[in-house]
């Protein structure tokens, strides 16, 4: 069986491009992780790559873990699939003792707390919100490779009630305190690794000898600092493959710069460029909406669907609904979710997405009132929940005794001893959250391969916790658009498509509005089968989002409590976009 099996023509073209600079422009749902892993496997299979000389870099520990898992499934082990920070930290810890005669500095575990101590030293008393904004400013300064003086010129307005001179004082005090404690913060890890490679030829030579072939996922999100570190890792070699989608650049505020992706072919005149535009995620109607949002934007891809018509009446044509206020919008979404669940949909196949965390409270309350269990993405991680930790400890304790019955029965008995019941408590609140977590553990046991023991099961849970491989809960997901990136659901409700919410009120410049557009695009392309968009006029008498006009909503200001909007303009479809008070049957 070849590593190229199961790939479409364009994916196969990308996987075969093993030498020289390669750029894979991969739209949402086009199988970029599949291409990355199959390309590496093909390189190993043909002898072009040696696994332990390949570095595959991505942005989250979860994505790196998924990449390692897929490579293992293809029979490839030994590839260094890591985040930028994990790779840099590994190199620092390895070389630092030789260079400095001492262990590497420790890593700051809480930047805000350290900033508060530094603030005391310079006579400042900022609140937690201000400290967080200052911490974000420090992170931006470092990933964009600016000095404190350059930061002051780039962001002269200060933070909160403090002018820029006081922010400069605090940043200097922070750096001084960090040095005194022999600590590095998250961004320093990259800076120190880059500095080490630039100034120590023996280190650069050793790294170049170890790694010969580089792959970078989500290349649209690299910062100037990450790009510089990548250049130092690659050196004068040419085996660099980058994969990304400029339309999903949503971290510009944190230093991400899509120009490195967009200009890759100009920087590398002989680069192989492959465009992946066949989406295996979303149906046609959703992709037409996504294409409308990004048409004419730099690097935009024209996505086409490979998904067949399911014949169940779900065609992905977006439905836009207007509401008088946010409470009505939340209740309308909850009612739509309940209708979907009554058709047999799994709660885990449904998500409600929004621009800002503040929007979640009303939606969460409406779903709880409707008896729908929810999970807020970005809250506590599954394996950090006290109930999950307690269950794993209890399961490990039970593993030392002989089983009285089957493995799954033993897991169920342990969970029952901790309060798990066959009937779920009412939705909303800590009791239901704990029940859902224990139910997820039981499902993992039920899905475990034959021969699994309590001990091997707890070992697997520990490994999953380390890799951030969390099980799916049978709950409706609530998430910000930023948190939703990289995920997908059958049915997506995108709430708050009003001016001031999406685009958000403080987005004023062309670049800021374009970032908001890309956020909307990310939200739309999370949906596989159905997409519902909504907005509320609210007390501020908001207008519908300009993005609704761009996807075909005519005369959107008329869409309110007593009037319908225009018509969908998606191919030949003319299905009306109805307001929440539209009396016509659905």
Q: Flag whether 30 is marked binding.
A: yes
Q: Are 409 and 445 in contact (CB under 8 A)?
A: no
The phi, psi pair for 496, rounded to 5°, reads: 75, 35
Rg over alpha carbons for the chain, rounded to the nearest Å, is 26
> How many alpha carbons fall within 13 Å on the CB side of residue 386?
3
Q: Flag whether 361 is marked binding.
A: no
Q: Are 277 and 523 in contact (CB under 8 A)?
A: no
Q: Flag whether 27 is marked binding.
A: yes
Q: Flag whether 78 is marked binding.
A: no
Q: Flag whether 429 is marked binding.
A: no
Q: Are 171 and 158 in contact (CB under 8 A)?
A: no
Residue spans of alpha helices (H) in 235-321: 259-262, 264-267, 284-294
> How many alpha carbons fall within 13 Å on the CB side of residue 106?
8
CA proximity to 498, closest of 557, 554, 561: 557
Q: Are 468 and 61 in contact (CB under 8 A)?
A: yes
3-state DSSP assignment of residue 5:
coil
Asked if omega into 503 is within 30° of 0 (cis), the reply is: yes
From CA 305, how far away is CA 344, in angstroms rounded? 25
Burial of 208 (0-12, 13-18, 19+ CB in 10 A): middle
Whole-number Cα distances in Å, 364 to 123, 368, 434, 554, 558: 41, 6, 17, 31, 28
**Number of Cβ atoms within 10 Å of the Cβ of 130:** 20
Q: Flag whether 29 is marked binding.
A: yes
CA proximity to 48, closest of 84, 77, 20, 69: 20
Q: Flag whether 33 is marked binding.
A: yes
Tokens 């991505």 belong to 58
From CA 105, how far away is CA 91, in angstroms rounded? 13
CA proximity to 387, closest of 418, 423, 426: 418
Whole-number Cα distances in Å, 459 to 40, 72, 219, 403, 441: 29, 18, 34, 17, 13
Q: Flag whether 345 is marked binding.
A: no
With b for 16 or more beta-carbon neighbours within 10 A and e for fewer, the 539-565 pattern comes to eeebebbbbbbbbbbeebeebbeeebb
Whole-number Cα distances in Å, 576 to 283, 315, 331, 392, 560: 19, 15, 21, 52, 14
CA proximity to 363, closest of 333, 340, 389, 386: 333
Tokens 């101590």 belong to 117
**Residues annotated in the binding site for ATP, as ranges?**
26-33
**Residues annotated in the binding site, as ranges?**
26-33
């Amino acid at each position: 069986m070849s590593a190229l099996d199961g790939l479409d023509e364009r994916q196969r073209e990308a996987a075969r491009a093993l030498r020289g600079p390669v750029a894979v422009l991969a739209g949402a749902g086009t199988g970029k992780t599949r291409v990355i892993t199959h390309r590496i496997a093909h390189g190993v299979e043909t002898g072009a790559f040696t696994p332990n000389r390949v570095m595959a870099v991505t942005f989250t520990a979860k994505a790196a873990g998924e990449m390692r898992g897929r490579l293992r499934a293809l029979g490839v082990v030994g590839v260094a699939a890591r985040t930028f920070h994990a790779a840099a930290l590994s190199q620092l810890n390895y070389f630092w003792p030789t260079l400095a005669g001492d262990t590497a500095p420790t890593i700051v575990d809480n930047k805000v707390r350290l900033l508060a101590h530094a603030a005391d030293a310079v006579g400042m008393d900022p609140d937690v919100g201000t400290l967080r904004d200052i911490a974000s400013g420090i992170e931006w300064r470092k990933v964009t490779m600016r000095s404190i003086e350059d930061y002051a010129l780039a962001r002269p307005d200060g933070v909160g009630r403090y002018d820029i001179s006081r922010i400069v004082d605090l940043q200097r005090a922070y750096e001084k305190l960090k040095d005194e404690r022999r600590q590095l913060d998250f961004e320093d890890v990259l800076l120190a690794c880059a500095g080490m490679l630039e100034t120590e030829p023996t280190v650069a030579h050793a790294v170049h000898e170890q790694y010969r072939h580089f792959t970078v996922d989500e290349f649209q999100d690299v910062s100037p600092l990450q790009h510089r570190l990548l250049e130092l890792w690659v050196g004068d070699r040419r085996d660099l493959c980058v994969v990304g989608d400029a339309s999903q650049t949503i971290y510009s505020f944190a230093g991400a710069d899509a120009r490195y992706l967009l200009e890759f072919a100009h920087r590398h005149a002989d680069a192989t460029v492959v465009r992946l535009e066949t989406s295996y995620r979303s149906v046609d109607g959703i992709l037409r909406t996504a294409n409308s949002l990004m048409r004419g934007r730099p690097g935009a891809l024209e996505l086409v669907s490979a998904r067949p018509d399911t014949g169940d009446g779900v065609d992905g044509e977006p439905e836009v609904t207007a509401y008088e206020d946010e409470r009505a919008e939340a209740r309308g979404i909850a009612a739509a979710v309940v209708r979907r669940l009554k058709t047999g949909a799994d709660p885990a196949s449904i998500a409600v997405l929004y621009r800002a965390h503040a929007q979640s409270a009303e939606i969460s309350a409406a779903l709880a009132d409707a008896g729908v269990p929810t999970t807020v993405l970005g809250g506590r991680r599954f394996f950090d929940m006290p109930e999950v930790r307690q269950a794993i400890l209890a399961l490990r304790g039970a593993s030392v005794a002989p089983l009285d019955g089957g493995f799954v029965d033993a897991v169920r008995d342990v969970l029952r001893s901790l309060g798990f019941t066959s009937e779920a408590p009412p939705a909303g609140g800590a009791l239901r959250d704990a029940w859902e977590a224990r139910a997820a553990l039981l499902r993992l046991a039920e899905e475990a391969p034959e021969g699994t023991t309590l001990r091997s099961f707890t070992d697997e849970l520990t490994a999953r916790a380390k890799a951030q491989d969390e099980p799916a809960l049978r709950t409706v997901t609530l998430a910000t658009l930023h948190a939703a990136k990289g995920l997908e659901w059958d049915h997506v409700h995108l709430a708050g498509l009003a001016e001031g919410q999406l685009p958000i009120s403080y987005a004023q410049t062309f670049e800021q509005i374009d970032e908001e557009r890309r956020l909307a695009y990310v939200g739309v392309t999370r949906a596989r089968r159905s997409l519902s968009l909504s907005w509320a006029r609210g007390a501020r008498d908001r207008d519908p989002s300009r993005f609704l006009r761009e996807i075909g909503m005519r005369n959107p200001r008329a869409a309110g409590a007593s009037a319908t909007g225009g018509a969908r303009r998606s191919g030949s479809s003319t299905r009306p976009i109805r307001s929440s008070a539209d009396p016509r049957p659905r």
